[in-house]
Structures are given as structure tokens and as C-alpha cells.
Amino acid sequence: MLRLDLHVHTNHSYDCRCSVERAVEVARAKGLNGIAITDHDSISGHQDAKKIRDDEFIIIPGVEISSAHGHILGLGISEPIPRALPAAETVDLIRSQGGIAVAAHPFAPGRRVGLVYQASFDAIEGLNSRAILLSNPLAQRFAKKNGLPMVAGSDAHRCEDVGMAYTLLDCEPNLDSALKTIKRGGTSIAGRTLPLLSFLWRVLQKALHGR
């Protein structure tokens, strides 16, 4: 069973300083078998990922798209997708590249909780380490009720948070097998969330310093 963190930010996001190389190092040290690079509205980190040669570690090229209805993860894509489009159109563009469309932290406080009703997603992010209170239970309940696969990710914006939550995949240790397994719903989720006080402290720091 492979463990992949399917929601990782790097210094190709405006609010993260962690390099792709360092994110991979942390993931390896924590025993993960792979990560998805999902920077905010940017695929520029994919070039850094291509420089990392390791046949035993999977790096999924992805992006976190700011749609008009909320954040959507596109996994297994190679071309940029415009932000601020309706969720349904964003999902169509992800699929046109053969990618997987995931509703990211759909019930997190302060988010547009109607995201999951605006498009037909391939999967729901059932565990996000930065989604607090009832956010994850509500996402899991929605996924189960609608028969949708669940994935998990740390949503790491700091190196040390990589691997805090991860998706379990029963697949071969390569990119193609991982993506096919996610598409067919062969996933389970594991990990934990940030403690509430840590989360609130980071929100305050971001408000004060922008990161």
C-alpha cells in the first residue's frame, strides 16, 4: 500500500517558501511514496519536479485552481488552467487533459461551501490537514452519500507539514498506476489535522505578514 500526500504547496505558490526538492525530502523522511505538487494557479513547479530523479518516488503534476466557486485540485495535468472560471468548466478543462478533478477542502470555514454542488467531481478531499472543526467530517459524509472516492493531503504551506495527511493507494509505484487507481476510486485516507491553536496562530501570522 503506497502513501501519497496529494495536496502540497511549494515556493511556486505565493504563500509558501518550501522548495519542491525540500518537500520531496520531507516526504521521503516521513516514509511517503509520493506527493502531488499543487501550487496555487501555477504549474511552474513541475519543471523543478522533473529534475528529481527517483524511480521509487512518485511526483504527480498538479495544481490548485481558484475557480469561481472554490478551490479545485487538478491531478495529472501538464497545461495551465485559467482561474476564476465556473467550477463545471474548470472540471471539464482538467478532464480534457486526462486529469482528475478533486473538490479541495469543500466545507472548510470561510470557503464557498457550495463548490461540491456546482460540478461533477472525480473525487472529494475527505481529509485536509488545514481544514478544522467539522470540515473533514462533512466532506467525508458528502463523499460517502454520493459514492465519490476520497483523497487526503496535508495542504502543506510549510515544509514540516508535508505528509501530515495522505492517501493510501494499492497500486504499482509509478505515476500512471497511481493516477489510474485514484480515477477508479481505489483510495483510502489517513493522517491528522493541525491542532486548532496552531491553525489559528498561522492564520494570524498570515494576516500580519502575508505568509
Tally of structural domains, the chain? 1
> What is the pLDDT, as a whole number, of residue 109?
78
CATH code, domain carrying 146: 3.20.20.140
Domain coverage including residue 54: 2-209
Q: Give me the count of residues in the chain.
A: 211
Please give the C-alpha separations between residue 204 and each of 110, 126, 197, 209, in angstroms, as whole numbers. 15, 25, 11, 9
> What is the pLDDT, as a whole number, of residue 176?
98
> What is the pLDDT, as a whole number, of residue 210?
57
Q: Where are the alpha helices (DSSP H) in 104-195?
A: 135-145, 175-183
User: What are the pLDDT digits (tens) for 36-77?
Assistant: 999 999 999 999 999 998 889 999 999 999 999 999 999 999
Strands 58-67 and 34-37: parallel
Instruction: Write out the three cell numbers for 190.
Output: 489517513
User: What are the pLDDT digits (tens) for 87-140?
Assistant: 999 999 999 999 999 999 999 877 666 889 999 999 999 999 999 889 999 999
Question: Which stretch of DSSP H or E encloses residue 89?
Answer: helix 87-96
For residue 196, the one-letter residue type is: L
Q: DSSP state, 6?
A: E
Q: Is the pLDDT of residue 200 over 90?
A: no
Residue 97 to residue 167: CA distance in whole angstroms:
22
Question: Which stretch of DSSP H or E encloses residue 48?
Answer: helix 45-50
> What is the pLDDT, as a whole number, of residue 53?
84
pLDDT class of 31 with cuts at 50, 70, 90: very high
74 Cβ contact partners less than 8 Å away, ≥ 6 residues apart: 38, 62, 63, 64, 65, 81, 90, 94, 97, 99, 100, 101, 102
The contacts found for 92-95 with CB under 8 angstroms, 24 or more apart, are: 94/65, 95/122
Instruction: Write out the three cell numbers for 50.
Output: 522533473
Strands 123-128 and 150-153: parallel
C-alpha triplet 19, 149, 76: angle, nearest 5°: 40
pLDDT class of 209 with cuts at 50, 70, 90: low
User: What are the pLDDT digits (tens) for 147-191?
Assistant: 999 999 999 999 999 999 999 999 999 999 999 999 999 999 999
> What phi and psi values does residue 10 have, to the nearest 5 degrees?
-135, -170
> What is the pLDDT, as a whole number, of residue 133?
86
